[in-house]
Amino acid sequence: MRNKTLCASISDERLAILSALGRRWRVSAGQVVTWAGDANSHCANVISGALKVSASTADGREQIVGLLFAGDFLGQLFVNEASLTVTALTDTDLCAFPRADFERALASYPRMERLLLERTMASLHEAQERMLSLGRKDARERVADFLLDLARRTGMCGAAGEIRVLIPISRGEMAGFLGLTIETISRQLTRLKSDRVIDFSRGERECVILNSAVLEAIVNPA
């Protein structure tokens, strides 16, 4: 549980105490972990897998507002009602805690409390940057930035320097997440593939980044 999680910030002795509060929770792909409007009773560390965080628009459509991967924290602290829906995109392992117990534990572990605050602020900054990018980045830049973010968070490096990433959402969901159309997403991915910047294996969900420097140059042009 320690690797890449908040628990890396505390001693082994305190980790054992905190672990006693938690339980391993195996979630199947497609299973809803939390519904918006439900009682906010639990929080969790993501051990493995991928989840989407979403809200409903006024006309009832789903809007993905974030993705969670191994090492991320799932849950909203110090509020009694969940405002977002969290759904597993793949089979996922969580270490879940009763929210009230976890909040009390934070008072005893100031380093973990500080790390959680830092991660919360980083998540807010990421959300703000995504909103800004919808106005200042073109489609090619948004898709490249999305792939680079997946590479940083989940990428596996191959022997030839390629980076393999699993795209956990459909092209339709990606379109909504990036503020584009499905057709635009498909065109941009096809263009990157034709330019030998990326490739796909085992269908369209496993992306192989062949040249991350080109993606970086697209996102941050000189």
Whole-number pLDDT of residue 16: 62
First to last CA, the chain: 41
Q: Flag whether 156 is in a domain.
A: yes
**Domain co-membership, 178 together with 109:** no
Is 141 found in the same domain as 70? no
Find the CATH number of the domain harbouring 188: 1.10.10.10
Shared domain for 47 and 123, answered yes or no, is yes
**Same domain assignment for residues 121 and 212:** no
Q: What's the confidence (pLDDT) of residue 180?
A: 94
Contacts of 56 (CB under 8 A, 6+ apart): 36, 62, 63, 85
Q: Are residues 17 and 35 in the same domain?
A: yes
Q: At 93, which CATH number?
A: 2.60.120.10
Note whether 126 and 142 are same-domain residues.
no
Q: Answer with the one of 109, 133, 157 that is the final residue of a domain.
A: 133
pLDDT of residue 202: 76
* Last-in-domain residue among 133, 162, 196: 133
- Report the number of distinct structural domains present in the chain: 2
On whether both 103 and 178 belong to a single domain, the answer is no
Do 58 and 83 reside in the same domain of the chain?
yes
Domain that holds residue 183: 137-219
3-state secondary structure the chain: CCCCCHHHHCCHHHHHHHHHHCEEEEECCCCEEECCCCECCEEEEEEECEEEEEEECCCCCEEEEEEEECCCEECCCCCCECCCEEEECCCEEEEEEEHHHHHHHHHHCHHHHHHHHHHHHHHHHHHHHHHHHHHHCCHHHHHHHHHHHHHHHHCEECCCCCEEEECCCCHHHHHHHHCCCHHHHHHHHHHHHHCCCEEEECCCCEEEECCHHHHHHHHCCC
What is the chain's pLDDT, residue by residue, as a tens digit (222 residues)? Answer: 333 455 544 445 555 666 677 788 999 999 999 999 999 999 998 999 999 999 998 898 899 999 999 988 898 888 899 999 999 999 999 989 999 888 888 777 777 777 777 777 777 777 777 667 666 899 999 999 999 999 999 999 988 889 999 999 999 999 999 999 999 999 999 999 999 999 998 778 899 999 999 999 999 887
Q: Would you say 147 and 210 are in contact if contact means Cβ atoms under 8 Å apart? A: no
**Whole-prediction pTM value?**
0.83
* 40/102 same-domain check: yes
List, for residues 20-42, the tens digit of each pLDDT value: 777 889 999 999 999 999 999 99
- For residue 1, tell me if it sits in a domain: no
